[in-house]
Structure 1
Amino acid sequence: MQNESYSSDAPVSKIDDDEFSRWSFSERVAQVIADRKDSSSIVIGLYGAWGDGKTSVLNFIEQSLVGTDDVICIKFNPWRFGTEDQLLMGFFNQIADALDKKLTTSGDTLKNIGSKIIQPLSKMANVEAVGDIVTSFISMPDIDIFKTRTEELLETSKKRVLILIDDVDRLDKTEIHSLFRLVKLTADFKYTSYILAFDKDIVASSLQDRYSNSQGNSGEAFLEKIIQVPLNLPHIDRSTLRRFCFQGVDEALKLANIELTQEQVQRFHINYLSAFDDHISTPRKAKLYSNTLMFSLPILKGEVNPIDVMLIEGIRLFYPKLYDFIKNNQDLFAGTFISSQYGNDDANKEHIRELIDETILNLNVTEKEGIIELLKDIFPRLQAVYSNTYHSGDSLKIWDKNQNICSKNYFFRYFGYSLLPNDISDTNLNLLIQDINNWQQPYSIETNPLSVVLTPENADSLIQKLYKKVASIDSIGANQMAIAITQVSEKLPAEDNFMWADAYTQSTWLIADLILNVSKVERVEVVKNLFNHANTIDYQTTIFKFLKHDQRDNAQPNYLNSEEMRDIGTHLARKILAEIQDKDITLDEENPTSYIFWLLNKYINQDVVNDYIEKIISSDDNAIYRILDAHTSTSKNLLDGTNSKGLFEKDTYEYLSKNINSSIIFGKLEQSCSDLLYDLKEYPKVNKREYDRKRTILQQFAWLYKQDWSHREFEFLSNSVNSKVLLFK
């Protein structure tokens, strides 16, 4: 990478730095001044907008006069002086210094001493009149004397003094008035020439208030009295300024070590001409734009789309109100336009158009058309608003891949010059994938690349970003990434979100997709091995739940056949059974108790479930309630986010009875809680918010159990009677 740096906005002074062919103009002005034989003063006005290069022209004029013995250049800076008297004295002294002369005499020293004595006395006496007398005594005669002395020095030297005064338009109104009074006061000095550089409109406006007339053009009229030779800066043609701007953009790209494709260059060029060309009207604005890119491109390199950065930064500089509107309204600009099923698309589109139109209200027709075209390019969602062109979900994937600003996953990166706290950079993501690919056996948590990167805060973003990289990961990398994710599963937030999947659940989806990349002959063993790396039974069972994708929108019917699933399920069931033999899984609410019983029943048999149930309830009566409660549903209150458990209902009972011999539970219930079963004539209902949940759940199970067995006994008797009738016949 080249050692480029931020391009200074400082004016230039050498002919080699003349980007806009102004040296010859400056040289001619300097020559006219040098060749002037008339000793009278002349005042030249150099007019140009802010940033148009006035200071550089003054520098060129000064350089052109180097070596000219009869002309002395001085740059007078009116910013340095507070009062008009100080301004005048500073001006006279600077001319004297340029002529290598002194304005003060030995008599002036005595007067200065007197001023230091008299002024404090006036303050001590607290008499305003004395102060006025002293001020008059000190300032007015001094100014006149020094003015006369300056005139005498000029006439004696016979050398022309060129006074260059820059940035007049940056002074406040009072300072502008003072400066022009100085010029007017000294305009009769012989052998002097003045060049005042300023924006004519700004200065005329400042003078307007002080010298008003009936025609309303008093500011310009006053300038015409002072400025004897008005000169406008030579015009910079549009193509030259554009080339200058593009040179700065190229430097910014080199600094960031970014190479654009021809397609990217063309896209930028089209949008630049459409929206920025008319706004970059001076060299300073071109420098401002390129310097902005020199800052933003390196900072965001690898995290965003470079062309989108270049375009949104242009909007920030030249359309600041629109930029703020975009930044604060992601939903209007990012993503795709979703067509409404109720047919009110037109109203929605019109609303968006009105909001944007209000933001760009002050632009002319050409500017509006140009910026709308740019917006449609960087925010394709607006193509539906302005040209009825819609984009599908496939476009979202492309925008994510290209790191476009129109992607909701990248939008805010463009406005903060940094990542959000819960985000992970694309550069670090690619390095992470590379580290996982290079991970060596034995795959330990200590060497797991994910264990360093993953945090509860960035888990959601990280899992989603890895999910989008699945297609590019090979078989070995997929296996190692699945292991890496499984090992850190305890760090993944498991939030009870019913509206969307949390990082914990999404990670198992990601694992299922990674297994797709593993060669088919290795998939079963790879999955079995994953269970060994999972720290919890819950994560093992969650992986198993989503292996076939049948609960998602990308079902894979040939992913794992029924025989392979039975092999995996049996392996997992036996592994879990071995882990829980000496434990009561109902004591830990994090365990998926009901799913474990289903798994054991399906892939081993119900006997192992019944044996386990008998074992834990024989040593703990409360285990009965925990088993039943684990089978009830959980719901979330969308208003306050709290979870609540459901009751033990008929479908709950039926599910439990498929996996467990319910008679075992009822028998223990009769033995330990017989009082709860007394006089149980109907299904126990809950009519108030606060209730004895344990008592209610146990009674609901008991009632459903009795109903179930009464039905079974009736069926048994009916079948027996029917059999006897048939025999009798």
Structure 2
Amino acid sequence: MVYTLENDQLVRSERRSGKRESYALPATFPRLSWPTALAYDTRRHIVTLSSLGGEGFLYRFNARSGKWLDYRSLDNLDLNALSYDAKADRYMGWSSEGSLVFLSHAGQLQTSRRILDQLSGFAPAAGIPLHVADDVFEVNIVDFLVLETLRVFEPDLHETLFKERELILQERRFHGDGQRDLDKTAAERLLELVSEERRAIARNALIDLFPPLEWAFGGTHYADGFQSSWLAAKRVCSPRYFSRYFELQTSVGDISERRFVEFLRATKTADELTAAIAEIEADFLLPSLAARLDESVDRLPIENAAILLPGMFRIAQTLVGLEDADPFSSPWLSAWRATSWYLKRIPANLRGDLVLETLRQTKALSVAAILIHLNDPADHQEGRDDAFDPAFELDTVEAMKAEWLRIIRNRAASDDALISEPDLLSLLYRWRKYAGSLDEPREWITKAIQTDEAFASMATRMMSRGTSQSWNDRVATPVKRFNREVIEDFIGITLAKARCDAIDSASFPEHREALQTLHRSLEVWLGLRERDPLDF
């Protein structure tokens, strides 16, 4: 059996069958704030869970009966790690202040010993602690100590682990990729870096540190569902934290655990949250914050939803159009997905009114459009989308559409407020969909392109850019093109051709490329010229 924490519930999984059972805390128990660690009492078959935040608690679960036993206050002691010592029949924990803590099998505090100051990896460098700041650890202390042991006694293995990230984390692997035999051989080769008498110890250490690779040593093959628990525990096997264990610092562009915890604490008041977001944005860490929100939705406080949700809307709206090398993990995608998942954690009787008020406050059109799409039955064909699980009632969806239309109409009445939106075309088509016709967005476009400069600027906004690369190409070729449907819908082919003919593109050097590309496209669409394969 494997015990993990998911969505503030204890989950028991059978390794062979994959069967899973969830156990929520009884209503009489204190609410689970920030779960930090699980430990298993092998003598009594009791799972013990520690949490921090406020006074902190220990919760005990009987693995045999499948029932929660009791809970005990930790009296403001924050435990970041917990394990059971079967020989001494007690628990050993690591506190946020850097002490080893010993507790009885029933969870009673026995003694503690501060050792943080004796760990070289935690010593201040230039006045900045490498792995701890204030009361927050940047890494999992148990993993850190094991890796430090490897660094001291097996430096060759330690150095190689950092170089073999994809292997030991099993990144970019998928079923049937033909990598299993190669990975198994590579894993065994890691042990060859260690003296023969220590290989068994090194093997066990690698299994403990890197569960994704355990299968290569004849052990368990873990599914992707375990990633969330490794992330929550700040394990070295989590891609988010891996580099910190070896570089002894947070990577450039990556938000630290301390900053993230400060962000969560700032959700108590609107002023604190606004200031926290502004500071994070000033440090160019907003994309990293979006990724952390996406990965750590279970840690976002529901009790502060009225403050946090508007903040998440603003964060996501700020990231619209921000490109990333991987379109499936862009900051914009992470931000709106985190917002959607967070909404589903808010009680159903509150989320409808809350999301409407948030839309009125933030006027975040792009975020709202995504949420409307995800929850609108009209966008999900019955029988073809069995996963459709709306967060809102249909009345809320329709109310969001009405508010969305009110906001975009007001924005369209302003001179440049709408044209500056990074996802302008997407918004125009949403406008058509919610209003029921093209009349309103087309009328706005007509007014917005009255001058030659405005038309040239709109051409630049409507031109899409990308790359094209054939099998034998060494480098990708830049591609610039226009969508015929877009021009037909919002301007008209004939009118667009007449405007292009009348404009001297040299008069608008910043829009010259777009005007020339549009002119060539219009001539092709009208049959006035053949398409040139070299026209991009």
TM-score, normalised by the number of residues in structure 1: 0.47
- Where does residue 39 of structure 2 map in the other structure? none
| 1:347 maps onto 2:179 in alignment | no
| 1:594 maps onto 2:425 in alignment | yes
- Where does residue 193 of structure 2 map in the other structure? 359
**Matched residue type, 1:460:** P
Q: What is the aligned residue count?
A: 399
Contact between 1:633 and 1:647, CA under 8 Å: does it hold in 2? yes
**Matched residue type, 1:387:** G
2:119 is matched with which residue: 288, 294, 298?
294
Q: 1:466 to 1:368 in 2, by over 3 A?
A: same
| 1:449 maps onto 2:284 in alignment | no
- Where does residue 332 of structure 2 map in the other structure? 504
Q: Deviations over 1:688-715 (max 9, x none)?
A: x9993131133345559xxxxxxxxxxx
| 1:560 maps onto 2:385 in alignment | no
Contact between 1:490 and 1:535, CA under 8 Å: does it hold in 2? no
**Structure 1 residue 538 displacement after superposition:** 5.1
Q: Deviations over 1:445-472 (max 9, x none)?
A: 8854322234454323322222233224
> Take 2:494 and 2:174, find their aligned partners in 1: how far apart are those partners?
59
1:477 is matched with which residue: 304, 320, 327?
304
> Take 1:614 and 1:251, find their aligned partners in 2: how far apart are those partners?
68
Q: 1:423 to 1:668 in 2, by over 3 A?
A: closer
Q: 1:586 to 1:522 in 2, by over 3 A?
A: closer
SS at match of 2:241: coil
- Where does residue 257 of structure 1 map in the other structure? 99
Q: Deviations over 1:181-203 (max 9, x none)?
A: xxxxxxxxxxxxxxxxxxxxxxx
Q: 1:507 to 1:446 in 2, by over 3 A?
A: closer
| 1:611 maps onto 2:465 in alignment | no
- Where does residue 261 of structure 2 map in the other structure? 430
Contact between 1:383 and 1:390, CA under 8 Å: does it hold in 2? yes
SS at match of 1:635: strand
> Take 2:164 and 2:252, find their aligned partners in 1: how far apart are those partners?
20
Contact between 1:334 and 1:381, CA under 8 Å: does it hold in 2? yes
| 1:579 maps onto 2:421 in alignment | no
TM-score, normalised by the number of residues in structure 2: 0.62
Identity of aligned residues (%): 15
- Where does residue 317 of structure 1 map in the other structure? 152
> Take 1:383 and 1:319, find their aligned partners in 2: how far apart are those partners?
20
Q: 1:12-23 alignment to 2 at 5 Å?
A: none
Q: 1:330 to 1:413 in 2, by over 3 A?
A: same
| 1:330 maps onto 2:165 in alignment | yes
**Matched residue type, 2:285:** N
**Matched residue type, 1:471:** D
Contact between 1:308 and 1:405, CA under 8 Å: does it hold in 2? yes
**Structure 1 residue 474 displacement after superposition:** 4.6
Contact between 1:255 and 1:294, CA under 8 Å: does it hold in 2? no
Contact between 1:548 and 1:555, CA under 8 Å: does it hold in 2? no
Q: 1:309 to 1:629 in 2, by over 3 A?
A: closer
Q: 1:525-544 alignment to 2 at 5 Å?
A: 525-534=353-362, 541=369
| 1:645 maps onto 2:480 in alignment | yes
1:693 is matched with which residue: 505, 517, 520?
517
**Matched residue type, 1:256:** G
- Where does residue 720 of structure 1 map in the other structure? none
**Structure 1 residue 555 displacement after superposition:** 5.6
Q: Deviations over 1:131-183 (max 9, x none)?
A: xxxxxxxxxxxxxxxxxxxxxxxxxxxxxxxxxxxxxxxxxxxxxxxxxxxxx
> Take 2:174 and 2:319, find their aligned partners in 1: how far apart are those partners?
35
> Take 1:339 and 1:328, find their aligned partners in 2: how far apart are those partners?
21
**Matched residue type, 1:294:** L
Q: 1:491 to 1:308 in 2, by over 3 A?
A: same
2:351 is matched with which residue: 523, 543, 563?
523
SS at match of 1:645: strand
**Matched residue type, 1:692:** Q
Q: 1:593 to 1:377 in 2, by over 3 A?
A: closer
Unaligned residue ranges in structure 2 (runs of 5+): 1-87, 106-114, 124-128, 504-512, 529-536
Q: Deviations over 1:210-257 (max 9, x none)?
A: xxxxxxxxxxxxxxxxxxxxxxxxxxxxxxxxxxxx9xxx99989822
Contact between 1:449 and 1:484, CA under 8 Å: does it hold in 2? no
- Where does residue 305 of structure 1 map in the other structure? 140
Q: 1:707-722 alignment to 2 at 5 Å?
A: none
> Take 2:147 and 2:229, find their aligned partners in 1: how far apart are those partners?
19
**Matched residue type, 1:463:** A
> Take 2:515 and 2:99, find their aligned partners in 1: how far apart are those partners?
69
**Matched residue type, 1:693:** T
SS at match of 1:405: coil
> Take 1:525 and 1:348, find their aligned partners in 2: how far apart are those partners?
52
Q: 1:452 to 1:544 in 2, by over 3 A?
A: farther
Q: Deviations over 1:668-695 (max 9, x none)?
A: 447656799xxxxxxxxxxxx9993131
> Take 1:624 and 1:635, find their aligned partners in 2: how far apart are those partners?
22
SS at match of 1:572: helix
1:395 is matched with which residue: 199, 221, 226?
226
Q: 1:410 to 1:582 in 2, by over 3 A?
A: closer
